[in-house]
Amino acid sequence: MNKQKLFSCCAILACTWIIVTWDTPLKTLWPVIVALFFVVVTRKAIWGLLAGALAGSLILSGGNPWQAFVHLFTLHLEPSLKSSWKMGAILFTLILGGFAAILDGGGGFQTILRFFLRKGGDASKRFQAAAAGLGILCFFDGLANSMMVGRVCKEMAPKCGVSRVKLAYIVDSTSSAVACLAFVSTWVAYQLSMIREGYELAGRQINPYIVFLKSIPFNFYCWFTLALLFVSIFRKFNPGSMKTFEDSNSAPEATFIQSIEDDQETRVGLHTVIIPVFILIISFLLGFYFLGCSESLWPVTLRKIAAAFGSDAGPLVLTLSGLFASVIAISVYPSRGPNRILEGLISFKRGVQSLIGPVFILLSAWMIGSVLSALETAQFLSSLITGTNASVLIPSLIFITGSLISFSTGTEQTPRCLSHL
């Protein structure tokens, strides 16, 4: 960050002491303004969220900086750490990060990609379809999805006549969209914690997972993103500059495909990916039923299944299913050395470390959410639209704001974290 940007950030934060003296409900929006300003200037989600939370805490403490700093952790972070759903979301996120790294380190994804490329037909189209298929298979985490699929496919893309630009589009379209629609993923775990918190603030007791499942058909952005992706792949729809990049790529397909068929050294069994992912799904479904059902388990009925998914077993089920799937992934990890388990554990550790940053962003989002709740920002905004037709514009305003932030910062994490505010 250059000196000009640093000065701007310090100045906007210092203005909080002036805002404290205002006797107007408009100051409840100041933390959001500070957060958005920091995000655009620093291009870092975490700095914007922390700055907004600190600005709100300063307002709540009457401008006392030390009290604001202490209360930021004791009043606005500590309660989140005591929530079973939120802690479950954090643990599940870290565990699935390790799980994804095990699958990636084992080489199973490269084997799947080569399997699709050995089939007949257009190599370019097969490669794009295989990359999209890998993105769907890695439904459990959007960030890990981008890293794994991108790393696996980037070397083969030019050889198959696919530009890096088109590959980036495929990876980005499958990572976030699939993670939002999947019934078990790190992003879903985050959504569940936010849904639960929102209904608790409204004084209503609901099951967050049932609400999430009901919302899936209405997630039009994700559905249309995936639909457009497959139109782009199978109909070769490459609008604008993407067509220029695609036309400039050509590959000696026959030579490359033959080299894949002759490559025996890099082949790893498909079971190193298929089995762990299958176990993750099955353990999640069975875990919810066995741990969430308060009646006798047999006979199985739809009423019992609905009641099980409506229980508070979610955090425990998410954690245990992720751990169990990780253990299975290590057990089928292809040995390239004398110690298979150690290699798998090293990969797991690397995956956990890669998601520590996103977890801190998650904690920061919870802090600013708590601060805005204490400032009664939602009530203020609600009072502005009560009795008017402005409420119908809220979804559009959220979408437009999120789009502008994404283009400004180059990431979708910030609008995700700010969307619940």
In this structure, how many other beta carbons lie within 10 angstroms of the beta carbon of residue 96? Answer: 27
pLDDT above 60: residue 266: no
pLDDT tens digits along 304-316: 766 676 666 777 8
pLDDT tens digits along 132-189: 888 887 776 676 677 677 777 777 777 778 888 888 888 888 887 888 888 777 677 6
Tell me: cis bond preceding 299? Omega within 30 of 0 counts: yes
- Flag whether the pTM goes above 0.85: no
pLDDT above 60: residue 420: no
Buried b vs exposed e over 76-93: b needs ≥16 C-beta within 10 Å? bbeebeebebbebbbbbb
Q: What is the mean pLDDT of residues 292-312?
A: 70
Find, among 316, 288, 284, 312, the residue nearest to 300 by Cα.
288
pLDDT tens digits along 338-362: 677 888 888 889 888 888 888 888 8
pLDDT above 70: residue 302: no
Q: Which residue has the higher pLDDT, 228 or 301?
A: 228
Find, among 306, 172, 153, 324, the residue nearest to 242 by Cα.
172
